[in-house]
Amino acid sequence: MSYAVAAALQEAVFQRLSQDAGLAALVGNAIFDALPSGIVPPTYVTLGPEDVRDRSDVTAGGAWHRFTVSVVTANAGFVTAKEVAGAVSDALVRADLTLARGRLITLDFLRARARRETGGQLRRIDMTFRARVDDTQ
């Protein structure tokens, strides 16, 4: 197994989301790898947990990365959250990301979960994506 590509994948996903015009139109620069201290914007996107499984073969070390991208909003209803989640999905699914190490084979959407949080004050959608990477170093 190779976990060596994990940082490069996370950086490429973050860059893709940060540079996507459709997503920026909805959340501006409120895309975070880690939430900032203090007050957060009313709607934001954050990278979340990751689960990795070995997918090495005779040609390279590789892995399946399942990672979460979350959309959180204080706006009433789920419409805003779903619009932002759709833009995240559009930016990532089948994206041709260039990694600082290794290479991305595929990036797909797996599932999403929408729910209310903080006593119904926030709406949250956690989207799980799956990326197959090879460590070609």
The enclosing domain of 133 has a CATH number of 3.30.2000.30
Residue 46 β-bridge partners: 32, 70
Sign for the CA dihedral angle at 111, 114, 72, 86 comes to positive
Residue 125 β-bridge partners: 71, 114
Q: What is the pLDDT of residue 52?
A: 95
Count how many Cα atoms sit within 13 Å of the Cα of residue 11 in the half-sphere of its side chain: 11
Residue 117 lies in a domain: yes
Mean pLDDT value of segment 48-62: 86
3-class SS of residue 61: strand
Residue 68 lies in a domain: yes
- Global confidence as pTM: 0.93
Residue 39 lies in a domain: no
Angle at 107 between CA 51 and CA 105, to 5 degrees: 100
The answer, yes or no, to whether residue 137 has pLDDT greater than 70, is: no
Domain containing 104 equals 1-8+45-75+87-137
DSSP state of 5: T
Residue 32 lies in a domain: no
Residue 13 lies in a domain: no
Distance separating alpha carbons of residues 61 and 34, to the nearest angstrom: 28
Torsion of CA 92, 18, 51, 123, to 10 degrees: -90
Residue 57 lies in a domain: yes
Residue 33 lies in a domain: no
Mean pLDDT value of segment 74-79: 93
Q: What is the pLDDT of residue 110?
A: 97
The answer, yes or no, to whether residue 75 has pLDDT greater than 90, is: yes
Residue 38 lies in a domain: no
Mean pLDDT over each residue of the chain, to the nearest integer: 93
Structurally, the chain folds into a number of domains equal to: 1
